[in-house]
Structure 1
Amino acid sequence: MIAGKQTVDDALFVETAEGPALLGSRCTDCAAYTFPRQGGCPRCTGSSMREVPLSRTGTLWSWTVQGFRPKTPYTGTEAYEPYGVAYVELPGQLIVEARLVQTDPQQLEIGMPVELTLTPFRDDESGRPVHTFAFVGVAA
């Protein structure tokens, strides 16, 4: 559980004083960041990686709206609703692919500031929501 919420995979997250953050890794040899965490560096092939919380804020690098239900093995909610998908640049770290809370193109602009949040993805067998990570636009 992260922030009191069931997630798709608790290994993707870490609690910080500011709230949940994505848990990545950083190569101690070349300083490359990865998400999700990895045991080896894709840049220098080193194996000296350490876990680090990634920035909770970033900028919208690119985006689209997923307007149709993805093919199997998609396991989202039964009642499909379009959702935003983006690349978010985490300053000084990396660009991560994530969902967006907003789906209205009028609310989305490349370069806008965004912040990490947890959003419902599907329900578990008991009908409780299971959350995934997403980004939401914030005031500059």
Structure 2
Amino acid sequence: MRPIAPGLFTEESQPRLVGGRHRETGRIVFPCPPGDDYVPFPLARQGTLWSYTIQRYRPKSPPYAGPEAFAPWPVGYVELPGETIVEARLCEVDFAAIRIGMPLELTFVPLDPEAPEPVLVHAFRPARGAA
């Protein structure tokens, strides 16, 4: 499997998303913008759910490259403490169990599990051990 975009996450055993820290202001964003104004900055793997919605329609193709048989999925804004807010899929959670403020952890899921060469996208799931 390969990442949906090069340089989007680190190649550690526990990969982290790569944001960018502005050289002058220190502001952290995701993803890391091209150019010299930002330096790559590995982001935290844990955060809290800031807001969310349920994606109930199949996105336009391109750029969507997922399965033809679309199933709704939750999309959230995850606040990484002291860093930034990241948009990502939410996985391994029932729609009814999603709560603003719930602790989440980074994971990676295939965009289309049935594809011959699946592409990985970042996602967040409920943090292990969180009540």
**Equivalent residue in structure 2 for 1:25, among 20, 24, 41:** 20
Q: TM-score, normalised by structure 2?
A: 0.86
**Equivalent residue in structure 2 for 1:36, among 7, 31, 34:** 31
2:93–2:126 CA contact under 8 A, matched in 1: no
Higher strand content, 1 or 2: 1
Q: Figure out how many residues of one structure are paired with residues of the other and give that number.
A: 128
Q: Alignment identity in percent?
A: 44
Which runs of no fewer than 5 residues in structure 2 stay unpaired? Answer: none
1:124–1:130 CA contact under 8 A, matched in 2: no
Q: TM-score, normalised by structure 1?
A: 0.81
Aligned counterparts, 1:56-135, within 5 A: 56-73=45-62, 74-102=64-92, 104-122=94-112, 127-135=116-124
Runs of 4+ in 1 over 6 A off after TM superposition: none
Change (3 A) 1:130 1:39: closer
Amino acid aligned to 1:9: A
Q: Which has the higher contact order (CA 8 A, sep 6+)?
A: 2
Per-residue CA deviation, residues 5-26 of structure 1 (Å, 9 max, x unaligned), is: 4221131111346x01111110
Say what the alpha-carbon RMSD is for the aligned residues.
2.0
1:76–1:121 CA contact under 8 A, matched in 2: yes
Q: Offset at 1:117?
A: 0.3
